[in-house]
Amino acid sequence: MPFAALTRLFHPSVMLRSPLGTSTWLLQLRWFAVVGQLVTITAVARFFPIELPLEPLFALIGFTAASNLAYTIWLGTREPTEPQATDDALYRTEVASLLMTLDLLTLAAMLYFSGGVDNPFVFFFFVNLAVAGVVLRPVWAWILTSMSIASFALLTYYRTPIELLSIDSHAAGYRIREHGMLIAFSTCAAVVTYFVSRIAEELTVRQTQLRTALQQQSRSQRLEALTTLAAGAAHELASPLSTIAVVVHEMQRHAADADVPAAVRQDLSLIESEVNHCKAILSRMRNAAGDQAAEHWDRITLVDLVDAILEGVRDPHRVEVSDDVDSFENYTLWIPMEAVAQAIRNLIGNALDASPAEASVAMEVSAEEEHFILEVIDSGEGMPDEVAQRAVEPFFTTKQPGSGMGLGLFLTRNVITRLGGTLEFDTQIGRGTRAIVRLPRRQQINPEIHGDDASQITHNGLE
């Protein structure tokens, strides 16, 4: 008996994920269908007193196998790793629709040679329609529905009679038909239940993915607002800082020619130094906010990155770098160095705040097959799980009012995730916190982008 509809339901969730996944899934299940049909027909012919026209039935199975072989060859001509364009996705869906139409016609033909509507497996028309209603476009679902109705009507009048399956047959034959109906009904019920439950699971997964996407969109919107705020603040503060710098420069020039106390000259130098410091902070703020297009991308070594991190870190004498960092001299990255360095500085700054006044924090560097790893380890008291889970949320902070806005970790994670990396925390009350940054080692950079032009790269990660 035809089991194509049954075998197509083994993994329905795969069909719903992508056009290419649907193609591969349908290909595998049609091969299972061929095997299932062969086994079923052989078992019926061997163990039941039913005479089946084996030649046409096996010919139909052979036709299914041949069509699946052609489908296999066709899939081999497709590029499985290329992005799925809308037209290509629609084309694959249309091919899947044609294959399901072919399978419905095969089901009707096999029923024609095995008793028509007297065959208990006529129930599988409903299974085909259930699958079509879920995985095909509505127009194709209605086409298959119309074909099923027409096929059932024709099988009522045109069929190869099987005496033992006829409802008018003698008692023994009726018992065989009755048992067959029970088997067919049970099989269809199990298949539909399995299929619907898998669809429900898939919908749950999709809802979870949708919630995650909405959360990511919300974070992106907040980040965009923060980036706009940072850019606006930098623009607004640039003018007064420039004015102060000009005035200080003039005062220093006049002070050099006048009898001005040394303390005043020192104060002017301090003001000039602080103005330059403010300008550097504004530049780092733009980079930390994710404005990676505003700076150069550089090919640097891990050692260069560590040096850049330490160059601008607060209390560098309290930061202990692992002794084996020099062994990574030949490991290179293609990244916006200042943005990444500032992101790690944020982690070090938090580690310094969490540690006792004179305690040190450790920064360790290592490598895996797929990632470079930088770890920042503090000497603090650690974080509860609920705090660790919320640590990267914007404006969430456990510091005293005025000590921070709760944006450092949020911006740090943004920079790292844009590079295709991850930020994790290993923390426990009483033993401190370990911040773990992973950056991908494999990089696919546009070969046409070099030098200063690399600053124009704004795509995610190193890909």
Q: What average pLDDT does the structure give for the chain?
A: 76
The Cα 52–Cα 46 span in angstroms is 10
Q: What is the reported pLDDT for 444? A: 39
The answer to whether residue 90 scores a pLDDT higher than 90 is: no
Where does the pLDDT of residue 176 fall: very low under 50, low under 70, confident under 90, or very high at 90 and above?
low
Asked if the model's pLDDT at residue 270 lies above 80, the reply is: yes
**Nearest Cα to 407, choosing from 126, 175, 198, 219?**
219
**Taking the model in full, what pTM does it have?**
0.47
Residue of 180 and 172 predicted with greater confidence: 180
Q: What is the pLDDT of residue 288?
A: 52
Distance CA 42, CA 52 (A): 10
The 10s digit of each residue's pLDDT in 109-165 is 998 998 888 888 788 888 778 878 877 788 988 999 999 999 999 998 888 887 766
**Tally of CB atoms within 10 A around 87:** 8
Domain parsing of the chain, residue ranges? 4-169, 228-288, 294-456
Task: Please report the pLDDT score of residue 128 as a whole number.
Answer: 79
Residue 66: per-residue pLDDT: 93
Q: 406, 396 in Cβ contact below 8 A?
A: yes
Closest CA to 79 of 27, 20, 29: 20
According to the CATH classification, is domain 294-456 in 3.40.50.150? no
